[in-house]
Amino acid sequence: NDMPLEYPIRPSAKDWSELYPMYFKPEAKSRGVPEQDDLSVSDANKDDQKPGSQPESRKIEFADIGCGYGGLLVALAPLFPDTLMLGMEIRTKLVDYLQQRIEALRSIQHKLHQNDTGDAPDVEKRIKTEDLDSADQLKNSVDSTEQDDAESDPEYAKIQDNGETNFPVPGSYDNIAVIRMNAMKYLPNFFEKGQLTKMFFLFPDPHFKKRKHKARIISSTLLAEYAYIMKVGGILYTVTDVKDLHDWMRSHLDVFPLFERIPDSEFEGDLVVSAVCNSTEEGRKVARNNGDKYLACYRRIEDPYSS
Ligand code: SAM
């Protein structure tokens, strides 16, 4: 019953305007269609020479792999109000949910920005409430009528529709989005070489059984892809409550030549690591159950074998 997954032929072929309408203007040409007649797979990364694609300055920098209900993106959005972040999630239901969640947050913030009075702050508080027991409860609290209200608001519509007044409002969640995709495939079709400054792998599926280990999201093959799309100096974050998975991720990352472990002690008081451990729905569940959390963060380093 799931829709087939769609992938751009290369990063510059992706029209991001639907996901980040305040940051990208819609493209006239259809998506996923190459500009030239060459359709070769190796074309996926020919962005260095692309003509007429999105402006250099507007690129996604953070990717949350297997973002689930999106707690990390929602936590980081106001901390990095002008950094574009993308959640990647394979399950349709979660993607739909998170899309609604982001739209509701955007609507409310835009309304607040337009007009400080009204009842919007209550709604905002309700959505941001930290002590909600389950994401379902949270979902129920995102009242879709709030969204409709905002959209029928002429001021809000003006921001949405008019190219000239199309500007992101810092803190308005315009900088976060989610797409449905299989992150184990085609990541380089979405991101150029060296594009990402942060990648997050938060509480990934443990795949306990030995014969399922190949389904784990950290592996030597996939690390090569992650290293490719990450900028030198960028940080890859992992956290899990499963010790065996933690050991597995470390054993692969520790020996991978393009990543270098960053000692946990360097992250004391770090807001990103705090969000990594505590802001996601899974992270909160683990905390409620007094479970352990194992953190391992790595810096993308210069290729030691290239001069
Ligand atoms: N990171 C979230 C959190 O901390 O709350 C979700 C953790 S959940 C245990 C793992 C998530 O990864 C699930 O939502 C699952 O659908 C997603 N996932 C698993 N494999 C994936 C893949 N290949 N591509 C994208 N998402 C995937």
Residue 222 near ligand 1, beta carbon < 6 Å: no
Residue 189 near ligand 1, beta carbon < 6 Å: no
Q: Given the structure tokens 């209900």, which residue do they identify?
A: 69
pLDDT at 307: 62
Domains of the chain: 11-26+53-300 (3.40.50.150)
Name the DSSP class of 20. -
Residue 11 near ligand 1, beta carbon < 6 Å: no
In tens, the pLDDT along 157-210 reads 444 444 334 567 777 899 999 999 999 998 999 999 999 999 999 999 999 999
User: Under a CB-based contact definition with an 8 Å cutoff, are residues 106 and 83 in contact?
Assistant: no
Find the 204 Cα to ligand 1 centroid distance in Å. 6
**Interatomic CA distance for residues 185 and 197, integer angstroms:** 20
Enumerate the β-bridge partners of residue 146.
none
pLDDT at 262 over 50: yes
Give helix 154-161 / helix 92-114 axis angle, nearest 10°.
110
Find the 180 Cα to ligand 1 centroid distance in Å. 11
Give phi and psi for 62, each to the nearest 5. -115, 140
Give phi and psi for 220, each to the nearest 5. -60, -45
Q: Which range scores top for mean pLDDT: 35-49, 58-72, 117-131, 170-184?
A: 58-72
Annotation says 205 is catalytic: yes
**Interatomic CA distance for residues 254 and 249, integer angstroms:** 8
Q: Which string of b and e fits 51-63 if b means at least 16 CB within 10 Å?
A: eeebeeeebbbbb
Residue 184 near ligand 1, beta carbon < 6 Å: yes
Q: What atom of ligand 1 comes closest to residue 69's alpha carbon?
A: 5
Indicate the top mutation candidate among 92, 205, 279 to test ligand 1's pocket, ranked by most ligand atoms within 8 A of CB: 205
Q: Which range scores top for mean pLDDT: 5-14, 26-35, 128-137, 251-260?
A: 251-260
Find the 162 Cα to ligand 1 centroid distance in Å. 36
Q: What is the number of residues in the chain?
A: 307
In tens, the pLDDT along 73-128 reads 999 999 999 999 999 999 999 999 999 999 999 999 888 888 764 444 444 444 44
Residue 183 near ligand 1, beta carbon < 6 Å: yes
CA 130 centroid distance within chain: 20
pLDDT at 229 over 70: yes
**Interatomic CA distance for residues 213 and 242, integer angstroms:** 13
Copy the structure tokens of residue 200: 């997050």
Nearest partner of 279 among 176, 187, 189, judged by Cα: 176
- This model of the complex carries an ipTM of 0.99
Residue 93 near ligand 1, beta carbon < 6 Å: no
Return the higher-pLDDT residue of 131 and 61: 61
Residue 75 near ligand 1, beta carbon < 6 Å: no
- Strands (E) in 99-151, as ranges, are none
Indicate the top mutation candidate among 86, 94, 282 to test ligand 1's pocket, ranked by most ligand atoms within 8 A of CB: 282
- Strand order in 230-240's β-sheet? 176-180, 84-89, 60-65, 196-202, 230-240, 294-300, 259-262
Find the 89 Cα to ligand 1 centroid distance in Å. 6
**Interatomic CA distance for residues 120 and 109, integer angstroms:** 8
**Atom 11 of ligand 1 has which residue's CA nearest to it?**
66
Q: What atom of ligand 1 comes closest to residue 204's alpha carbon?
A: 10
